[in-house]
Amino acid sequence: MKKQPIQLSDHFTYGRLLRFVFPSVCMMIFMSVYSIVDGFFVSNFVGKTPLAAINIMYPILIILGAFGFMLGTGGAALVGKVLGEGDRKKANEYFTFFALVIIGWGIFCVIAAQIGLRPLCILLGAEGQVLADCLVYGRIIGMVLPCFMLQYFFQTFFVTAEKAVLGFGCVVASGILNIVLDALFIVVFDWGLAGAASATAMAQLCGGVFPLFYFGRDNTSLLRFTRTKWDGGAMIKACSNGASEMLSCIAASIVTILYNYQLLALSGDDGVAAFSVIMYSCFIFTGFFEGYAVGSSPIISFHYGAKNHGELKNMVRKSFTLEVSAGIIMTAAAFTFAVPLAKIFVGYDAELLQLTIEGMRIYMLSFIFMGVGTFGSAFFTALNNGKVSAAISFVRILIFECGSILILPRFFGMTGVWSSIVVAEVASFMMVIVLVWKYQGKYRY
């Protein structure tokens, strides 16, 4: 018997909730394929110095693309609320308006990236061959920044449109294309780092353009592009809602920059390369946390708009149970697979391999607490409370994590670097619990 489609207005059991968020979880994991695949091919076929260059470039690209994530999450929260109120026409107008803003901002960023990339890389400490590699990778990827932003933007809107599976399929297709082109450009054509950048750029082009065609015509989803106009109020509301997500992207990039600085000082290029591998591995495990946040947010926004307080309470209880359980399971899995994961990337260098494994086993203890912190920020965004959501992101990353990475290595060296994330996530876990308890009377969940 064919299962009935799941709608935002449904009551969510554990099974129905997991079914609904599953495409978003898979989508987030496959979004990470771009950097993971690049890292694998570059590390094994080009070298560890280009691998370090990619890790230096990655936070710059995330900062430039963070606006797309802000309008995606913040705009989807507003559109989901309007859909819950029953005004589909206005929801489509908002959706179209936000997409046009993303495209305009993306074009501006292409120009800015080409002009300012070299001085920015120098400012971040890149020099010599690392600087040259940064420029090669960054200038190619920078040409498709609008598509990179649109991919983030459409992640949440596919879920809001009740087409999460289609969104997942789009990301999978882009990920497979990236893998095939990486093998072709790097291994067969021997294009080196330029080949890795070109493969990722083409994959992002595919993932960003397809949704434009889908939503630009008649479709079976809740959303499609329509006539729209500038709406300053909607823009301010969406930016306010999604500010925490943009802040999270920017702050996480700043943290990566700080990690690179500390690692360069303590262990040189090997430290940065080891951190790159740890981050690639983390993308695989943390896809559940980020995907669950993306997939569950439209449900929360819809029932908030519909004033269905009972379902809000149901979502809060089930979400915290799932996040904590997943964190424990993922920590155990990370310890089990630390060695084979590290060997995939740096098995050719015994000293680098050992450094990577040691760091990975400390760093991944943070998974136990990370899910609650990730969900907490997304939860308040979905409730259209951008201030609390932004506060969580700001304190979690810019205070707890930045503070840890600046202080702990002074006393504990490399162990302090790897354990910084653990200290930060424990503090974030406690903060989110307090805030969710504090606001339960206001939102009646």
pLDDT 10s digits, 207-253:
899 999 999 999 999 999 999 999 999 999 888 877 767 777 777 77
User: Would you state the structure tokens that stand for residue 147, as one six-digit string?
Assistant: 């598509």
Give the position of tokens 């997942």. 168
Higher local confidence (pLDDT), 172 or 221: 221
User: Of 47-56, 84-93, 303-312, which range is least confident?
Assistant: 47-56
Structural contact between residues 422 and 403, judged by C-beta atoms closer than 8 angstroms: no
Residue 199 has pLDDT above 90, yes or no: yes
Residue 8 lies in a domain: no
Residue 254 has pLDDT above 90, yes or no: no
pLDDT 10s digits, 2-47:
566 778 888 889 999 998 888 888 877 776 666 677 778 888 898 8
Residue 423: what pLDDT? 95
Residue 3 lies in a domain: no
pLDDT 10s digits, 390-416:
888 888 888 898 899 999 999 999 999
Residue 185 lies in a domain: yes
Domain extent, residue 401, equals: 14-443
pLDDT 10s digits, 255-304:
888 888 888 788 877 888 888 888 878 877 788 898 898 889 889 988 88
> Quick check: helix, strand or coil at residue 384?
coil
Residue 172 exposed, middle or buried by CB count within 10 Å (0-12, 13-18, 19+): middle
Residue 3: what pLDDT? 63
Residue 7 lies in a domain: no
Give the position of tokens 């600087």. 131
Structural contact between residues 265 and 296, judged by C-beta atoms closer than 8 angstroms: no
Residue 2 lies in a domain: no
Residue 2: what pLDDT? 52
Q: DSSP readout, 296-353?
A: HHHHHHHHHHTT-HHHHHHHHHHHHHHHHHHHHHHHHHHHHHHHHHHHHHHTT-HHHH
Residue 1 has pLDDT above 60, yes or no: no
Residue 136 lies in a domain: yes
Q: Give ∠ CA 127-133-30 in degrees, rounded to 5.
A: 130
Residue 191: what pLDDT? 94
Cα–Cα separations (whole angstroms), residue 191 to 39, 44, 194, 391: 15, 14, 6, 44
pLDDT 10s digits, 339-357:
998 888 888 888 889 999 9
Query: Measuring CA to CA, which residue among 358, 355, 383, 377 is closest to residue 425?
Result: 377
Residue 314 lies in a domain: yes
Higher local confidence (pLDDT), 226 or 152: 226
Query: Measuring CA to CA, which residue among 310, 314, 252, 306 is closest to residue 279?
Result: 252
Percentage of the chain exceeding pLDDT 90: 40
The one-character DSSP state at 185 is: I
Helical ranges in 183-231 per DSSP H: 192-215
Residue 55 has pLDDT above 80, yes or no: no
Residue 4: what pLDDT? 65
Residue 135 lies in a domain: yes
Report the mean per-residue pLDDT for the chain: 87
Residue 161 has pLDDT above 70, yes or no: yes
Structural contact between residues 20 and 299, judged by C-beta atoms closer than 8 angstroms: yes
Residue 33: what pLDDT? 66
Amino acid at 141: I
Residue 140: what pLDDT? 94
- How many domains does the chain contain in total? 1
